Structure 1
Amino acid sequence: MDVKISGVPVHVVEHGDGMPVLALHGAGVDHREMAGALEPAFRDRPGYRRIYPDLPGMGRTPLPDWFRGSDDTFDVVLGLVDALVGDEPFAVVGHSFGAYLARAVADRRPERVAGLALVCPIGEEIRDVPAHAVLHGSTGVADALSPDEQAQFRDYFVVHTPAMVERFREYVAPALPLVDGDGLERISDRWRLSDAAADAAPYPGPALILAGRQDSTVGYAGPWELVARYPRATFAVLDRAGHALPHEQLGLFTALVAEWLDRVDEHRTA
């Protein structure tokens, strides 16, 4: 379905009923990546309404000419919360740039955010990032992909196996031709939110922060520094995982998300 926010028709896919869980994908993909990562955690867990939007400039959501930075994207995200969630408590999950936006949602709506999960989160400062290197796999595994897809796969994944190629094909590759490259470049020039709440009160709810030990995009040192802002955070650094952690460590990712949801439920009913 499409939901019009500030004149922007935002494409949204929903699954299930119950407490809303807003899932925000990273840059250069669309809702399919978050759905592919998160849906296994909800397979035997009813009572959650999963909301997967395509962020502006990706998937089936256009990026208007008047967008100038992340502030405009974040306004759309808050508009989605108001339009689809209303006054209900909800959880929010974000990957990469989506995690940056998710943090801002928790800062703006702390009384309504029942839980916050950050996967390979981009922070205000990115430092101590390792060089990209293939950790495991075999050469030629991605030969069946197109040249452009091969380049994207090799830059994103540190585990090169047939299973990872299939996940790339299903959850990442279909979004690549739908990206508004010029529009996202415009956003990236002003990717920091103008009123990021650096001095806001720490978010008090159950949180989860996951980092990839081999993440050559944001590293794991920067995400660790976020722990001080989240007194109820579980922090985990996963080996054999880069920025594509939700794919490369799907089993651990699913288990840690399930444990986080247990804490969210406990917190809500306390």
Structure 2
Amino acid sequence: MDVKISGLPVHVVEHGGGIPVLALHGAGVDHREMAGALEPVFRDRPGYRRIYPDLPGMGHTPLPDWFRGSDDTLDVVLGLVDALVGDEPFAVVGHSFGAYLARAVADRRPERVAGLALICPIGEEAGDVPAHAVLHGSADAADALSPDERAQFRDYFVVQTPAMVERFREHVAPALPLVDGAGLERISGQWRLSEAPAETPPYTGPALILAGRQDGTVGYAGPWELVERYPRATFAVLDRAGHALPHEQLGLFTALVAEWLDRVHEHRTT
């Protein structure tokens, strides 16, 4: 479905009913990556309304000419929360740039955000990150992909096995031709929010921060620096995982997100 926010048709996919969980994907993909990571968590866990939007310039949500940067994207996300969730408490999960936005949502709506999960979150400043390198895989695993897809896959995954190729083909590759590359490039110079998450009071609800030990995009040291802002955060660095951590460590990801949801439920009912 499309939801009009400030005149912008935001494409949203929903599953289930119950406690709202807003899931924000990273740059260069669309809602399918977050759905592919999170739906296994909810397979045997009813009572959650999962909300998966396509962020502007990705998937089926256009990037209007009046967009200037991440402040506009955040305004759209907050408008979406108000339109779809209202005053009801909700949880928010974000991956990469989506985690940056998720932090800002918790900062702007602290009394309504019942839980916050950050997966491979980007920070305000780029810190030291490991060089991208294949940790495990076979040389011919990506041969079934197109040349463009193959390049994207090899730059994203540090575990390059046939199973990871299939996850890439199902949850990442379909979004690639839908990205408004020129539009995102136009606003990339203002990707930092004018009111940075670090400038607001700490978020005190149940939180989860996951980092990939081999993440060549944001690293793991930068995410660790967020811990002091989240006094109820579980922090985990997962080996055999890069920036594609939700795919490469799906079992641990599922278990840790499920435990976070248990804490969110406990927090809401006490």
The question of a shared fold, defined as TM-score above 0.5 by the shorter chain, is answered with yes
Q: CA deviation at 1:257?
A: 0.2
Please report the RMSD computed on the Cα atoms of aligned residues, expressed in angstroms: 0.5
Q: CA deviation at 1:162?
A: 0.3
- Partner of residue 143, structure 1: 143
Structure 1: give runs of 5+ residues left out of the alignment. Answer: none
Q: Aligned partners of 2:181, 2:134: CA distance in 1, in Å?
A: 26
| Residues 216 and 6 (structure 1), Cα distance of their counterparts in 2 relative to 1, 3 Å cut | same
Q: CA deviation at 1:211?
A: 0.2
Matched residue SS, 2:26: coil
- Mapped contact 2:103–2:197 kept (Cα < 8 A): no
- Mapped contact 2:123–2:222 kept (Cα < 8 A): yes
Matched residue SS, 2:199: coil
Percent pairwise identity? 90
- Partner of residue 55, structure 2: 55
Matched residue SS, 2:51: strand
- Partner of residue 33, structure 1: 33
- Partner of residue 198, structure 1: 198
Matched residue SS, 1:211: strand
Q: CA deviation at 1:196?
A: 1.5
- Partner of residue 170, structure 1: 170
Q: Aligned partners of 1:65, 1:201: CA distance in 2, in Å?
A: 33
Quick check: 248-257 or 187-196, which moved more?
187-196
Matched residue SS, 1:198: helix
Q: CA deviation at 1:198?
A: 2.3
Q: CA deviation at 1:214?
A: 0.3
1:226-237 equivalences under 5 Å are 226-237=226-237
1:90-101 equivalences under 5 Å are 90-101=90-101
Q: CA deviation at 1:171?
A: 0.2
Q: For residues 237-268 of structure 1, what are the alpha-carbon distances to aligned partners after superposition, in whole Å with 9 as ceiling and x for unaligned?
A: 00000000000000000000000000000000
- Mapped contact 2:119–2:209 kept (Cα < 8 A): yes
TM-score, with normalisation over the residues of structure 2?
0.99
Q: Aligned partners of 2:88, 2:202: CA distance in 1, in Å?
A: 21
- Partner of residue 264, structure 2: 264
Q: CA deviation at 1:199?
A: 2.9
Q: What amino acid does structure 1 have at the position aligned with 2:36?
A: G
The reply to whether residue 71 of structure 1 matches residue 63 of structure 2 is no
Q: For residues 189-228 of structure 1, what are the alpha-carbon distances to aligned partners after superposition, in whole Å with 9 as ceiling and x for unaligned?
A: 1100011242311100000000000000000000000000
TM-score, with normalisation over the residues of structure 1?
0.99
1:206-225 equivalences under 5 Å are 206-225=206-225
4+ runs deviating over 3 angstroms: none
Q: What amino acid does structure 2 have at the position aligned with 1:82?
A: D
Structure 2: give runs of 5+ residues left out of the alignment. Answer: none
Q: How many residues align?
A: 270
Q: Aligned partners of 1:199, 1:14: CA distance in 2, in Å?
A: 32
